[in-house]
Every structure is written in structure tokens, then in C-alpha cells.
Structure 1
Amino acid sequence: MTSQPPVPFNDLSRFDDDLIAEIESSVSRVIRSGWYILGPENSTLEAALASFLGAGEAITLGNGTDALELSLAALGVGPGDSVLTVANAGGYTSVATRLLGARPVFCDIDPMTLLPTAATVRAALETLPEAPRAIVVTHLYGALAPVQEIVAVADEAGIPVVEDCAQSFGASIEGRRGGTFGRIATTSFYPTKNLGGMGDGGAIFTADEDLAARVRSLRQYGWGAKYTIERPHGRNSRMDEIQAAIVAVQLERLDANNARRRDIHRRYETAGATTVRVVNTADESFTAHLAVVQAEHRADARAVFDRFGVKTDVHYPVADHRQPIQPPDETWSLPSTEHATDTVFSIPMFPELRDDEVDRVCEALGEL
């Protein structure tokens, strides 16, 4: 065992003094304004997010799960419908789908990228007894799935695509940001995200004005006018002004932080591991939200990192179709998904990692 302090998996306390001062100033501005919910800070953030992404509109919400749920609700998903998604991404889309009274159904993933592809989506559509009402493409670990090809398959079937960009915000394909390919996209501002706040928050993005209007209504009780409820499935999902102000500050640093993450990931890719596989490659389509490796003997590989004092985690250990909540009469053939959940684990990845800490992670990788 090393006598050095452990390398943390993440550390949200490592903000630099300039960032802390800027956030404190922004929070003070909100406190002095007397406006704490859906005010000018939210409006400013929505405009900045839409501009950054190249989306028509951005709409802030209470959290990322609400963003998924309200996106699906805006697309008309309801009781008796199904939503196609992957089963290796933590279960968030499945939760949002069930909240609408709908049923999650699953496609398998590519065994190398661990993402859905046009082929896996098409294969699922061919085997399902009826077409899903929507397809959710999760850009897992910060890597963009081949969303253009998936959208083409979905368009053939007349099914709208939702992009889940919670882990990939800022990633691009040939200069076009993820989140602009489907009918609607979502993100989360949970503190550990690449673009995170200091509490909960989320947003949706769309170029469809009607969808945007539906989500704006649904986030506030389904109102058409104040105190006039016009839409079903409305709720209170409003982002507070303090979180909006904090996320706006963080947005200004996002590209630089993502670049630092990619630099760290490149170190991991070239660390010389032979018995484990670093899943992703650092390029513009990958924000390095998580640094994920695969090992056929996961417990043994994690033990090597423990010996070097490097913290690890697993994202994600239980596939959606294997969760206890799943109906017992449902069976799914998802071999690549099941292999992934049995073999993946994550190593430290956040932009404030020190170079000596990155060195130690690389030393552990080199032992493998």
C-alpha cells in the first residue's frame, strides 16, 4: 500500500480562488436582487446555453431526470407507450419513462464503444411488437453516439429522438454540438457533471418552437396563463436563480475544462495497460466525463488501483433489464450490455486532478 494520500475519484472542493470569487459575486447578486425562481438569471443562462449549443431554445428545469421526463411528455409519451433506450446507462431514462406510465424497452450496444448504434437500434425496432413512441440516445461517459445515423433510422420509422447530453455537454461531431441532432435534447447540472452547479438543475434544448412551448408550460404546472392549467402532466420543475447564476459562470470555463479532461484521458490511453481496455479516445466527440476501463477480472484490476491509492467506481453495475423493478415476464437478449456491466469500472477524471495524481493513475494502469 502507498503511504501517499489517496487519489480521489472526484473532488468538488478544488475550485480555484478566482472561480470561487466569481461564484460568490454571482450568488450575492441574486440574493440582493430579491428574485429567486425563474428570473433574469435563468433567462440569461437559457440564452447562453442555446448560443453555446447552437440550439434554437434552451429551457431550464429542476433537474436532469425532470428534463428527460418532460421531454418525453412533450413528445406525447404516456400510458401504454414504450420508449427505446439502452440498459447500461444508470437507469435514468427508464425511471423517467415509468413516471409517464410508459414502458422502457431496450436495444443492445456496440461492444467496443458501449454506445447504441444505428444497427443496434434497427435490430431492436425489428424485434419489438410495436414501434416505441420515442428513442432516447444516451451519450454515455461523455462520448457522442453515432447519433446522425441513429436519427436516420428513427426518421425512417417516424420516431422522434431525444438526446441525453448530461455526460457529453460540449462534445461535437465535425463542429456540430451534440444535442442538436434529435428533436429534443436534455442535460443535467448535477454537481459532478462537466457543466455542473452546486445543487440540482437541468435543461432541455430544441429547435422545435412547439416542443419548447410545451416544456415551458409543463415545468410550471401545465399553465397556459398564470393559474390556468391547460396541459396534463404539468409539475413544479423550476431552476432557482442561484443555481442558474452558478451554472452560467461554469459555462464560461466549460471548453477549457473539457480540454483538460481530454488531456488527462490521453495520458491514460498511452499508459501501457495491456490486460484492461481504456474504452474511449480523446477527441472533439468526447468530453471525458468519465474515464472508463474494461477488465475481464474487474475486482482484481480495481485491487491494483487500491494498492496505488487510487479510488475507483463502477458506472454502471446493474443493467436496467436486470433491475428488481423489471417485470419478471420480460426477457431481453442484450449480451454486449451485460458484458459491459460486468466488466467496466471508472478511474479518476476531473479537471482539477494534479499532474502527480495523474502520474499515479498511469502507474496503476501500467501495472495492468
Structure 2
Amino acid sequence: MSQDVRVPYHGWSERTRSWRGDVLDVVAEVSRSDSFILKDNVARLEERIAAEAGVRHAIACASGTGALQLGLLAHGIGPGDRVVTPAYSFIASASTIALAGAEPVFADVDEETATLAPESVAAALRGGGRPVRALLPAHLFCNLADMRALRALATEHGTLLIEDSAVALGATIDGRPAGSVGDLGVYSFFPGKPLGGIGDGGIVLTDDEEVAGRVRELRNHGQDRAVRFLYHRLGVNSRMDEVTAAFLLRRLDRFAGVLRRRRELAQRYQERLRPLAPALRTPPDGFGERSVYTYAVRAEDRDALRAHLLGRGVETMVHYPLPLPLQPAFRHLGHARGDFPVADRLARSVVALPLHEEMDLETVDRIAAEITRFYGGTA
């Protein structure tokens, strides 16, 4: 990174400064315990997250992507199945479907929230070909998918609803915790997430006793939960370690404050940047029930804006510069530019601004002032 960057996008040094004592403590505790993987800390974390999400079962694993993979496999999704998923999202929303042997069926996203558009899902469900086995919407940035409409579509067509809520721990949808609205949900504990760990980690959420049992076996090579080296099915190695779980338990004690601060920062951006519309479009208003992972705006002349900000020491990030159907990994599905017009527009215009709970409001004001100057306004 250039030495001229005074406001890095991730800001790891600043945001992790308060973590360091906890990191040293949990490493020392676990090293003395002789318990390293899927032990007491993991069990306590599962109990805490299940209570937080309002579900019967939370099963910890090695990453948010691993949680999606385990959820699909536990529901028996595989070769011959089709799963509807957003054309604009992080690749795990689609790659886990393909790696399970199923076919990702891409649908366009909503212009305002960048999440799976119910009308596009309805069109995919009406389309020809084999029946759809599941819908897999993803909450994105600080926005929540329209789960009420998607649930109605899933019920009407007899499909599963798998909720990629990797970024949404702490958010609520119609009074219910995000992650608990689908037939199965997931959270990610990647360090950049609101409840970030010191490495990768994830968790599967379900009320289904049998699905939970399968996930617990699948995350540990398919091994019986009581008899070692007895395998009922072929699984994967997607286990959570005790250091990660112990650290997340400490972070969870302070999580309410983290959510409040992220919402406050997002609201400050919103107030400063909303007047720049339509040249710059902010997310939908109302952060009170949302978990702010990333504050992403849509900008005319995005590349020039990014260069302007970088020249003044502010680093930004593009999520995501190429819609999933156009990625080389999915070229075999035969999609072309224009098949998903909203996803195309978002890929050309979305830019994420720095936001983490250790930032101060004055930094947000400085960034907003530079964006205002770029668009010819008075800061």
C-alpha cells in the first residue's frame, strides 16, 4: 500500500488495536487446555449464537463459505438440482452450489438493495428446464434481501430457502434475526465482518434437528458424533478451532456496541452524501435494524472518483467489478453481458467507502467532503 494512504479501506491496524490483549489471552488459555478443535469454546459459541439468532441449532465451522457448503450438502442438494442465486454477489453464493454438483441459476438483483430481486426469481421459477430445488438469496453490504417475498415464492413453488446471511449477524427482518428466516442460514466471522474473528470462521443456523445432525457430521469428514473413525457419509474438514471460538466469545460480549457504532458511521455518511444524488446514490435509509458490514454507494465516474480519493489519501474498494454469470468460472453456463442488466450496472458503479467501528465521525466527514468536492459541490 502506498505510504500516502492515510485512511486505508480496511484499517486493520486501527481496528484490531483493541483486540491484541484478547488474542494473547485466548492463545494462552487454549494452549494450557489441551483442547484445540470442536471443544468447549466451540460449544459455548454455538449456544450463544443460537440464542442470538433465535434458532434451535447453530453449528460452527471453518468459514462462512464452508457453512453454505455444509448447508447445501445437509439438504442433499447435488447433481441434477438447480438453485436460484444472485447474479451480483460474492462468489460463494454461487460457487458452493456448483461445488455441490448442482447448477446455479442466476437471477438479477434489486436496483436499490443489490439483493436478489423477487420478480427475477419468479421469472426463473417460471422458466423451462428442471424444477428449482432451492432459492439462495444473499444479504449484501448493509442491505437485506426481501425475505418475505422470497419466502412466499419458495412456499408457492415448494423450494427450500437457504439464507446467505454471512454479513448480517445482528440485523432483523420483520422482527426476526437475519439468518433465521430461511430453512437454513449462515453467518461468517471473517475478520472484516461486524463480528470478526482473528481468522476465518462460520456457523450454520437451523431449527431442523436432522439437518443439524448431518451438518455436525459433514463438517468433520462425515464422522459419527460419538464413535471416532466411524463414517456415515462423505464429509469435509470444516471444523472451528478453540482459539477462534474463544476470541469470538469475547467479541460477542461487546457486539451490541460494535453494531451501534457501525450504524452511526453509516448514518453520518448518509447525511453527508445523500444531497449528491443522482450523481452519487446512497444505500436505502434506515440502518436501525441492519448490520452494517460495508457502506457501498453507486457513483457516476466511479474510477475517477476513486482516483480523486486515493490522491487525497483515502482508499476505497470495488465490490464486485464483474457479475457472477460473466466470471470465467461460470463461462460454461453461456451468459452474456446484458442478460442481467441491474447486475451489470452495479458492477460498473458500486464503490465501498472505509467504515469500521474504530473510525471517528471526523474521518467520515473528511471523506464525504472530498466526494462532495469531486462532484462540484461545496463541502
TM exceeds 0.5?
Answer: yes
- Equivalent residue for 1:173? 173
Superimposed CA distance per residue, residues 97-122 of structure 1 (whole angstroms, 9 cap, x where no aligned partner): 12111121111111122111332221
Shift of 1:268: 1.1
| Equivalent position to 1:230, from 217, 229, 232 | 232
Note closer, same or farther for the CA distance 1:302–1:25 as it changes in structure 2 (3 Å cut): same
Residue 7 (structure 1) shift: 1.2
Residue 270 (structure 2) pairs with residue 263 (structure 1): no
Distance 1:285 1:137, change over 3 A: farther
Q: Distance in 2 between matches of 1:192 and 1:337?
A: 24
- The answer (yes or no) to whether the contact 1:172–1:284 under 8 Å persists in 2 is no
Measured after TM superposition, the shift of residue 282 of structure 1 is: 3.9
Instruction: State whether residues 262 and 282 of structure 1, in contact with CA within 8 Å, keep that contact through their aligned partners in structure 2.
Output: no
- The share of aligned pairs that are identical, in percent, is 34
Q: Displacement of 1:354 after TM fit?
A: 2.3
Aligned pairs for 1:1-368 within 5 A: 6-15=6-15, 19-224=19-224, 225-232=227-234, 234-271=235-272, 272-274=275-277, 275-328=279-332, 330-331=334-335, 333-367=339-373, 368=375
Higher alpha-carbon deviation: 195-204 or 122-131: 122-131
Question: Shift of residue 303 of structure 1?
Answer: 2.4
Change over 3 Å in CA distance of 1:126–1:52 after alignment to 2: same
TM-superposition CA deviations, 1:21-80 (whole Å, max 9, x none)? 344323322111110011000001000101111111100001111111110011111112
Q: Gapped runs of 5+ residues in structure 1?
A: none
Q: Which range moved further: 47-56 or 272-281?
A: 272-281
Q: Quick one: distance in 2 between partners of 1:110 and 1:226?
A: 47
Aligned equivalents of 1:216 and 1:49: distance in 2?
A: 16
Change (3 A) 1:12 1:128: farther
Q: RMSD value over aligned CA atoms?
A: 1.8
CA displacement at 1:148 relative to structure 2: 2.0
CA contact (8 A) 1:308 1:360 kept: no
- How far off is 1:207 after superposition? 0.7
Which ranges of structure 2 fall in alignment gaps of 5 or more residues? Answer: none
Give the C-alpha shift of residue 141 in structure 1.
0.6
> Aligned partner of 1:340: which letter?
L
TM-score normalized with structure 2 length: 0.91
The count of residues paired between Structure 1 and Structure 2 equals 365
Distance 2:64 2:197 in 1: 12
- Shift in Å, 1:163: 0.8
Offset at 1:273? 2.3
Checking the alignment, whether the CA contact within 8 Å between 1:91 and 1:319 is kept in structure 2 is no
SS at match of 1:228: coil
Q: Give, as a single letter, the amino acid of the residue that structure 1 aligns with 2:281.
A: R
Specify the code of the residue in structure 1 equivalent to 2:350: V
Deviations 1:221-277 (A, max 9, x none): 112332111123x01111000001111111122221111111111111111323211
Q: Distance in 2 between matches of 1:359 and 1:230?
A: 57
Separation in structure 2 between the aligned mates of residue 284 and residue 150 of structure 1, nearest angstrom: 22
Aligned AA (1:314): V
Please state how far the C-alpha of 1:160 moved relative to its aligned partner.
Answer: 0.7
Deviation at 1:356, TM superposition (A): 2.5
